[in-house]
Structure 1
Amino acid sequence: MRRVNYAVNGGPEVLFVEDVPTPVPGPSQLLVRCEAVGVTWPAVRRVREGPEPVPLGGEVAGVVEALGPGVRGFRLGDRVTGLCFEHAYAERAVLAEHMASRVPEHADAVTAVALVHSGLVARKACAAGLIGRGESVLITAAASGVGTMAIQLVRAHGARVVAAVGDKQDKGAFVRTLGAEAVVGYDDPSWGEPVDVALECVGGEVLDKAVRALGRGGRLVAFGAQPGAICSGELMTRGASATGFRMGSPATPSLYACWRDELWDWHREGWLRTRVHAEIPLARAARAHEVIESRANLGKVVLVVD
């Protein structure tokens, strides 16, 4: 089978396609014939910065072809999606049973990788921010896969969205179609009126600006892969608080299952929409990384497997 890999850290050009044996699922694992694979910023950054080559992870969606020992919740032929931490850029991937969920009959694989994991991250960010009706919420990386989900979920809470993007000219109109009422650029000298909540996933200088954008009693939720420093003095001056999370940390499986069901219900009802910037063949994974690195994407970038 074909798999995308890399042997040294670097830009998209270090990715290559290799032929490898089909993996065998271990205990409590599924072998999935991949139809779509979601490309994430953490994976792109890991290729570029290291510290050393590791198997590429990502969201996968496809059909169960084999079951490892002990699998009880799935059968051969089930259509599933889930976050795969190793060798996701492949024609077939091994997915842990506890990370897998079924794809409804009405949905395709591309929709699944654009909706479920990004939606869960956005859903958890909203829950951590304790967003209330009438509040204002700053969302960084607002045109990303997670950002597009977060904008819609924040609006569903009855809150006002301030979308922060790298390029206001190209991305401003896009995020407004999703419900953002105000748009700011990362380089803008001011981000306008203080906000009640900041959902921040960029890190670095953007994280610092998000802290400074908080109003009195504001709440910062940090959940990106890029590190950054939070000035305790800025929090104390504002009487603000900060929290963070990672989706890979332990969580109540029943809660994630409930949230997944909600996401599919809301998508079926038509008000929670996925936004896919591009569907790119697996063999051209380097092109997908180029799009992410250039921050040109308006929504999710997906690899498709034929």
Structure 2
Amino acid sequence: MRRVRYEHSGGPEVLFLEEAPVPAPGPGELLVRAEAVGVTLPVVRKVREAPEPIALGGEIAGEVVALGEGVTGYATGDRVTGLVFGHGYADYALLHTAMASPVPDGASAVDAVALVRSGLVAYGALHAARPEPGDSALVTAAASGAGHLALQLAGLRGARRVVAAVSDAGKADFVRTLGADDVVTYDAGSWGEPVDYVLDAVGGALLKPAVAALAPHGRLVAYSSGGGTVEAYDLLVGAKSVIGFQMALIARGRPQTYERWRTELWELFLTGALKPVVHGEFALEDAARAHAVIEGRANLGKVVLVP
């Protein structure tokens, strides 16, 4: 089979395609013939920043072709999606049943990787914000794989006004088509009228203006891998709060919540209420181009590899 790998940290240029044996599923694992693989900012960052090479994992979707020992509830030929922690940029990948879920009729593999993981992150971050009907919201990275879903979900949860924060004014039309009432760029001097909650997928230097954008008693949900620091005084003067959110803790510690959110996401998709957007579908050998799109903040929606 073909697999994307790299041997030292760097930009997209360090990725290369190699031949590798098809892996055998271990206990509790499914061997999946990958039809779609999601490209995420955390993986792109790790390629550039991690001290040692990592297996390029992430969301996959495809057909089950073999079962590991002890697997129940799945059969060969099933269509599944889920998060892999080993090699995912490949023709075949190993998916543990704890991280797997069926792809319903009416959805493609590309739909699945555009919706499930990014959607769960967006859904969970929104839940952490404790939104109330009539609240106002601001979403950073609003054109990204998770951000464009968070933008829509905020509206679906009753936000009276949703602000999209983006890196480039050229993304304004895209986020407006998804329900943004207002659009601001990161370098704007002010992000406009204060909001009740911010969903932040960027972190770093953007945390300060994100906190400043909050109304008194506002909530900032930080779900970025970008780090950053918030000044306690900036929270104190407006009785504001910062809430950290990580999906892995929900998946491991609250599996029933994880499953309920996943079911609700599929319902929203199948009824047409939630519309995941795919920026582009790249062949496996074009993984470097896919990473370059993410690094350049050029994507409008989800970036997907299609083996």
Instruction: State the match for 2:306 in structure 1.
Output: 304
Structure 2 counterpart SS, 1:69: coil
Kindly provide the CA deviation profile for residues 59-81 of structure 1, in whole angstroms up to 9, marking residues without a partner as x.
00001111111211211111000
Following TM superposition, by how much is the alpha carbon of 1:51 offset from its aligned partner in structure 2, in angstroms?
2.1
Runs of 4+ deviating beyond 3 Å: none
Matching residue's letter, 2:207: L
Matching residue's letter, 2:59: E
Preserved contact between residue 208 and residue 228 of structure 1 (Cα < 8 Å): no
Alignment of 1:57-76 (within 5 A): 57-76=57-76
Kindly provide the CA deviation profile for residues 188-227 of structure 1, in whole angstroms up to 9, marking residues without a partner as x.
0111111110101101111221112111000110011111
Following TM superposition, by how much is the alpha carbon of 1:10 offset from its aligned partner in structure 2, in angstroms?
0.4
Instruction: State the match for 2:219 in structure 1.
Output: 219
Kindly provide the CA deviation profile for residues 224-280 of structure 1, in whole angstroms up to 9, marking residues without a partner as x.
111111111111111011111211223321221111111111111112101000000
Preserved contact between residue 114 and residue 274 of structure 1 (Cα < 8 Å): yes
Preserved contact between residue 57 and residue 88 of structure 1 (Cα < 8 Å): yes
Following TM superposition, by how much is the alpha carbon of 1:11 offset from its aligned partner in structure 2, in angstroms?
0.7
Instruction: State the match for 2:296 in structure 1.
Output: 294
Structure 2 counterpart SS, 1:224: coil
Tell me how many residue pairs correspond in the alignment. Answer: 304
Alignment of 1:31-180 (within 5 A): 31-159=31-159, 160-168=161-169, 170-180=170-180
**TM-score of the superposition, structure 2-length normalised?**
0.97
Matching residue's letter, 1:96: H
Matching residue's letter, 1:29: E
Identical residues among aligned pairs (%): 58
Preserved contact between residue 30 and residue 64 of structure 1 (Cα < 8 Å): yes
Matching residue's letter, 1:264: W
Q: Distance in 2 between matches of 1:85 and 1:194?
A: 39
Preserved contact between residue 4 and residue 285 of structure 1 (Cα < 8 Å): yes
Following TM superposition, by how much is the alpha carbon of 1:285 offset from its aligned partner in structure 2, in angstroms?
0.2
Q: Distance in 1 between matches of 2:209 and 2:86?
A: 34
Q: Distance in 2 between matches of 1:86 and 1:247?
A: 18
Q: Distance in 1 between matches of 2:182 and 2:246?
A: 28
Kindly provide the CA deviation profile for residues 28-76 of structure 1, in whole angstroms up to 9, marking residues without a partner as x.
1111100000000001111111122111111000011111112112111
Instruction: State the match for 1:25 in structure 2.
Output: 25
Name structure 1 gaps, 5 residues minimum: none
Q: Distance in 2 between matches of 1:269 and 1:246?
A: 27
Matching residue's letter, 2:167: G
Structure 1 counterpart SS, 2:247: coil
RMSD (Å) for aligned C-alpha atoms: 0.9
Structure 2 residue 8 is matched with structure 1 residue 8: yes
Q: Distance in 1 between matches of 2:66 and 2:262?
A: 24
